[in-house]
Structure formats: structure tokens, C-alpha cells
């Protein structure tokens, strides 16, 4: 079985090769960038499987995937990455990649994945595809407390202090204090301006 591995990080390339070379029926070719991989495909394609590093020189993200699929005569081409997000992985799979392999994949799983994809199946590690990505906090949100965010939401919805106090089970005087504090933090002259700043910033 002919496998082509293209990655600009020599250590990663060598490590993947070492994992796969232990399998007697696998013949491994390597390239350090997309141009090198393309040259090998022009010369020796089709490979049973081509593994492309998502961010190596010449790859241009998923553009390289499309080119490689054509160069490999439609035989499986997969994406390997140590940095790409789950969204990129989903996009690659939707674009016809044979699979998506995080560089953190254990050796045994890598060998299983290679055989699976070479057989024509699509592979992506379940844990990577289902784990929750860290929620990024909006810069304005970092300035405000949880309670101030609740009050601000009420301001955006056009509620009075009395209505906000009722919904949040607070004293009206406490809401008034929160409005004053969040206006100061958002550099807003009044409650209307605070609501506009938050709305324009896409905070809610």
C-alpha cells in the first residue's frame, strides 16, 4: 500500500513515518511542502492515501485538498493538523477529505485510521469532533460582572429599573447602582448609550 505524507515539520513527518513504517505492507513517500507532494503525485499517483498537513507551505488550506484530490486521481486524500479547529475539520470532511487527523492521535489509532481511509472510508476521531470548544469571552463582557450583564440585557430589551428588579429578584435601588457602575465601565453617559454600545458590539 502506497502512502504519501506531506508535512513541513521534519519531526512530525519522521514520527508519522516511524509509526507507519512498522507495518510491513505500507510503502511510505514523504514531502516537505505542497509543491513537493504535487511533484510526487504527478510522478507516482495514485497513492492509496495522501496525508497533507493543513498549514504547510503551498497548501492554502482546503484549496490544496482540492488540487491533491485531482492529482491523486480521486484516491483518498486526508488532512493532518496540530492547530486546525473542529470547524476546519468539518469543512474538510464536507469537501471530500478522506479524513481529518489531529497530530495528537496515538500511534495505534493513526495506523487504524490510515487503513480505514485507504479502504475508502471517511475517518475523524470522535473525541475531537464532539468535545466542546472553549467559549471565547467578548472583551466588553470581561469588564462586567455576571449581575451587571443581566442588568445590561434588561436595558437592551428596553426594560425599566423596576422591571429589571422584578425579573432578577433585586431591589430597584440595587439595579440603579448596577446601571451606574456598568455605564462607568462601558464609558457610557446614560443607560440608553450603554445599551447601544453593547448592541453595536454584538454583546447579546
**Residue range 155-199, pLDDT digits in tens:** 998 999 999 999 999 999 999 999 999 999 999 999 999 999 888
Pick from 100, 127, 131: nearest CA to 116: 100
Domain boundary among 106, 130, 154: 130
Do 149 and 109 lie in one domain? The reply is no
CATH of the domain at 92: 3.40.50.2300
Do 169 and 70 lie in one domain? The reply is no
Pairing type for strands 77-81 and 49-53 reads: parallel
Count of domains forming the chain: 2
CATH of the domain at 159: 1.10.10.10
Do 186 and 144 lie in one domain? The reply is yes
Domain boundary among 72, 95, 130: 130
Do 114 and 150 lie in one domain? The reply is no
- pTM of this structure: 0.65
Residues 56, 8: contact at Cβ < 8 Å?
yes
Do 152 and 117 lie in one domain? The reply is no
Do 15 and 78 lie in one domain? The reply is yes
The residue segments making up the domain with residue 167 are 139-200
pLDDT reading at 202 higher than 70: yes
CA gap 25, 119 in Å, rounded: 14
Which H or E element spans position 164? helix 161-168
Taking residues 72-81, what's their average pLDDT? 96
Domain boundary among 97, 130, 163: 130
* % the chain with pLDDT above 90: 69
Taking residues 38-47, what's their average pLDDT? 96
Do 43 and 104 lie in one domain? The reply is yes
Amino acid at each position: 500500500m502506497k502512502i504519501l505524507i506531506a508535512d513541513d515539520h521534519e519531526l512530525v513527518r519522521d514520527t508519522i513515518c516511524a509509526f507507519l513504517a512498522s507495518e510491513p505492507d505500507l510503502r511510505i513517500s514523504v514531502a516537505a511542502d505542497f509543491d513537493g507532494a504535487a511533484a510526487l503525485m504527478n510522478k507516482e499517483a495514485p497513492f492509496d492515501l495522501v496525508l497533507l498537513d493543513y498549514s504547510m507551505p503551498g497548501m492554502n488550506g482546503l484549496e490544496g485538498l482540492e488540487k491533491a484530490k485531482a492529482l491523486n486521481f480521486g484516491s483518498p486524500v486526508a488532512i493532518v493538523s496540530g492547530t486546525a479547529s473542529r470547524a476546519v475539520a468539518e469543512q474538510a470532511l464536507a469537501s471530500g477529505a478522506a479524513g481529518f487527523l489531529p497530530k495528537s492521535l496515538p500511534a495505534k489509532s493513526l495506523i487504524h485510521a490510515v487503513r480505514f481511509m485507504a479502504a475508502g472510508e471517511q475517518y475523524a476521531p470522535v473525541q475531537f469532533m464532539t468535545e466542546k470548544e472553549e467559549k471565547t469571552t467578548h472583551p466588553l463582557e470581561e469588564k462586567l460582572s455576571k449581575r451587571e450583564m443581566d442588568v445590561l440585557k434588561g436595558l437592551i430589551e428596553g426594560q425599566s429599573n423596576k422591571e429589571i428588579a422584578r425579573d432578577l429578584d433585586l431591589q430597584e435601588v440595587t439595579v440603579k447602582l448596577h446601571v451606574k457602575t456598568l455605564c462607568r465601565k462601558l464609558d457610557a453617559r446614560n443607560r440608553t448609550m450603554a445599551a447601544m454600545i453593547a448592541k453595536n458590539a454584538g454583546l447579546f
